Amino acid sequence: MIKIRPAAARVARPVARPVYVDRFSTTWPWLRSADHFAVNILASDQAELAARFARKDIDRFAEPTRWRPGPLGAPLLQDVSAHLVCLPDQTVDVGDHILVVGLVAEATVYTPGRPLLYHQGGFGRFVAHPRPPSLARPRDGSATVGGRGGSPH
């Protein structure tokens, strides 16, 4: 487990985390009035849990969902890759959704693995493309510029 707490002396401006919420979801009224919220980063094998939270008219936090209250009371799901505890900063209307920008007050990484992604109506996972030869790292560890070698300065 890695826990990161940005300190004002080290960070000029806290990291911002955007979250999109359907304006008609049952989550939006709660989030609109919250003084903090949690972002749970799901692992690539947690599509079933994500689908549960996408459903309407159910208690998302009832069994089989495993969770605990965070340090400020926001629900933190168990067995996820990471948690972010955020302070609301801005909201912007974006069509049928609301963009909520939260400033990350605390981040905890449990398992640095592949995150669960949602794209074009389906869940998936990130698979990195092979590094192009122009960006390949030299075997001796020296820096390269434009893939030709040399000093980066």
Q: What is the pLDDT of residues 102-134, one digit of tens each?
A: 999 999 999 878 889 988 889 988 877 888 887
Per-residue pLDDT band at 77 (split at 50, 70, 90):
very high
* Residue 112 DSSP symbol: -
Structural domains of the chain, with CATH: 2-125 (2.30.110.10)
* Residue 95 DSSP symbol: T
Write the CB contacts of 21 (distance below 8 Å, at least 6 apart in sequence): 27, 28, 31, 97, 98, 100
Q: Are 123 and 134 in contact (CB under 8 A)?
A: no
Q: Are 102 and 87 in contact (CB under 8 A)?
A: yes
Question: Under DSSP, is residue 30 helix (H, G, I), strand (E, B) or coil?
Answer: helix
Residue 141 and residue 22: Cα distance in Å, rounded?
47
Q: Would you say residue 16 has pLDDT above 60? A: yes
- Let me know how long the chain is: 153
Q: Would you say residue 135 has pLDDT above 80? A: no
pLDDT of residue 141: 53
Q: Greatest CA span in the chain, whole angstroms?
A: 60
98 or 140: which leads in pLDDT: 98
Average of pLDDT values for 11-30?
84
Q: Would you say residue 147 has pLDDT above 50? A: no
Q: What DSSP assignment string belongs to 43-61?
A: BTT-HHHHHHHH-SSS-TT
Q: Would you say residue 150 has pLDDT above 70? A: no
Mean pLDDT, the chain, rounded, equals: 81
